[in-house]
A and B are shown apart, each in its own frame.
Chain A
Amino acid sequence: MSRQIDRKSLLAATALVTLVAAAPAARAELELTLNFPVAVGGPITAIIDEYAKTYSEQTEGVTILPVYTGSYQDTITRTVTAFKGGNPPDMAVLLAVDTFTLYDEDMIVAISDLAKSDEEKAWLESFYPAFLENGSIDGQLWGVPFQRSTPVLYWNKEAFAAAGLDPEVPPATWEEQVEFGKQLTLKDSAGNVTQYGVQIPTSGFPYWLFQGLTTQNDVILMNQDGNEVNFDDPKVVEALEYLVALSKEYGVMAPDIIEWGTTPQDFFQGRTAMMWTTTGNLTNVRNNAPFDFGVAMLPAHVRRGAPTGGGNLFILHSDPEREQAALDFIRWLTTPENQADWSIKTGYVATSPAAWETPKMQDYVNDFPPAAVARDQLEFAVAELSTHENQRVTKVFNDGLQAAITGAAAPAAALATAQEEAMRILAPYR
């Protein structure tokens, strides 16, 4: 009896194995995988699933399989590991600043090489130039901007009114930020601060918002080839001294390292009257702030400025047929209509001017003007800090910034150390 069952299940198993092995051959369907960074399930997964389904249904012979791979860090880890194991996905959304890393590992295909027809070339021209900067190496384009953002200033209008400031006017310069900040900083009878003027988060990756300050001080942190950095420039030092002074000298910002994660919460609870954070928080703030709030460009100094941020779509090496199919999908995903849809649903910045011209997007902006602030700031935006050995160089820079912010080192000394270390790491690439 038991032997009979064994034989039966053995037969079934053999049949199953044969079926599975035969399946790809029987179907001429191209299955393209897309590694997508989503930390937890929820709205974003549903949106991407829907795009994949729509495209697969309307395109003969192509199926898009999105794979949700956690945070950006998890996603690049999984993508690089899969590549080294010989089984890479066809596409991935990864940080634009990791382009050099992907290029050095020879993992990705140059988009500008794939885009051969006139129509495809025109499509490459359709994006905001600020978003293409991080994807260009050797005069070629390696990533298509998709999940992009930029930092902006959020302010609490009620707190402004309570402090005797015009609730409709955010600080436009560094000086005003300090001046407003002083008026907005409140203390209890024991002398403890109950509301700070401004909050610029500095945990994990302080360099990003700090790059807002350096850009405003009219200095660029790295060269186009990604093999030299400029961390010890006097203007960079000046920007860091300003950041440190916000808490140490003027007392308008909380001391030491400020968490990214709790910053929106601090804003909602009235522990800070202004905050710098990503446009990606727009929907969150809109849904959760119990008061009237405004969104503005970051304050200017010598000039206006902010870095771009977020992820690009990359195509990984496979065969010409799959690469072309991936390009077709990416072109579809970044049509003005789809970009507008994506931007409205998520709060990320639509990456081409044409998307902002669509009726859908214009209705949205009319209804919710803060959404356009990020777009208007793009004119002043620069490439996010990105070099060869990017994560290592960035880490050295972050360590230096945090050392200065916590008072462990003077700004000039901390940046000199970071510069020396970063140039040493980059030496093989010069």
Chain B
Amino acid sequence: MDRRLLTTIHAWLLVLPAMVLLVAFTHYPTVATFWASFFSTARGRRPASFLGLDHYRRMLTDDPVFLQVVWNNFLYALVTIPLSIGIALAMALWVNERLAGRGFLRMAYFTPTVLPMVAAANIWLFFYTPGFGLLNQIIALFGGPEINFLGSPETALWSVMAVSVWKEAGFFMIFYLAALQSIPPSLKEAAKLEGASDVHYVRRVVLPLLMPTTLFVLVNAVIGAFRVVDHIVAMTGGGPSNASSLLLFYIYETGFKFWDTSYAAALTVVLLAVLITVSVLQVTVLDKRIHYR
């Protein structure tokens, strides 16, 4: 047999296991989701029918909850991503210095990441409880009024955001810490010799060198903002009246509480489109401004 043909077959065989997994668990579900979004959900007593783009039209014109969760998710991403990255960077710079108890500090900052989201949410549930919750007890010490953090629409989403920032920042800190330690000390010495201040050194030397890490963290943070809803389930269930509901939580409700799996499929397509667009934008636009060594 032809040698080249053999090599080709050999190569395909090597790729086959990975391909089977990818196709079965990634590509096929994606295509099936897209396909299912054009049909109505089959019930035992009524079969599915072709709807075309009806589900997408319904989202835009007939589903106020969808518009609200998209807005909530947008706000959620806009607030939690910069905040957690900023805090992560500050913490990393801080614990990168030589100071007493550095190991302990690093561990303390990283601890929230180790906790499962549901456990963390339950701890925060206690912080937020009206009356005997920790935060309200502190407020009461200063004579402030009682706040029902998770029970009023003005504060519910912000309270959930705080948990997310608290949890994510420690995780991102680890990446920054690793990146900081790979910056050669000679750069710092050179900057000092040239008379650059610490602020100037961080702004002109450290931050540019951290940009590849920032891109990585940013992509992860965006995906996380659309993907992690465990704390919503544990803390508010999306309430009061959808004030703290996010897109993925709404998809879960539609799919597994309302059993409207095909509308859930259409919502999933929207989520996928958002994530793909954002990721492509980030990689193409930001990549040009990043200096790789």
Contact = CB atoms under 8 A, between A and B. Distances in A.
A-B interaction: yes
B237 A204 contact: yes
B160 interface: no
A80 B132 CA distance: 39
Contacts of A101: 259
Contacts of A395: 253, 257-258
Interface residues of A, number: 38
B44 A257 contact: no
B241 A192 contact: no
Interface stretch (A62-70, A123-131, A285-293, A396-404): A396-404
A402 B131 contact: no
B46 to A, nearest CB: 8
B282 interface: no
Contacts of A265: 132
Contact of B140 (A104, A192, A258, A400): A192
- Name the prevailing secondary structure of the B interface residues: loop
A266 B131 contact: yes
Interface in A303-349: none
Contacts of B62: 424
Contacts of B145: 192
A105 B140 contact: no
B148 interface: yes
A255 B45 CA distance: 44
B212 interface: no
A421 to B, nearest CB: 8
Given A80-B259, A256-B148, A391-B257, A190 B43 contact: no
Contact of B239 (A77, A193, A204): A204
B157 interface: no
A319 B259 CA distance: 26
A405 B148 CA distance: 13
A5 interface: no
A262 B128 CA distance: 11
Given A395-B257, A398-B241, 16 more contacts: A80-B259, A104-B46, A105-B43, A105-B44, A193-B146, A254-B146, A256-B152, A256-B240, A257-B240, A259-B129, A269-B132, A391-B257, A392-B258, A399-B65, A400-B241, A403-B153
24 contacts: A77-B256, A80-B259, A105-B44, A106-B44, A192-B145, A193-B146, A256-B151, A256-B152, A257-B150, A257-B151, A262-B131, A269-B131, A271-B131, A391-B259, A392-B257, A392-B258, A392-B260, A398-B241, A399-B65, A399-B241, A399-B242, A402-B241, A405-B240, A406-B152
Q: Which 10 A-B pairs have the closest CB atoms?
A: A106-B44, A257-B151, A256-B151, A399-B241, A105-B44, A402-B240, A402-B241, A256-B152, A256-B148, A392-B258
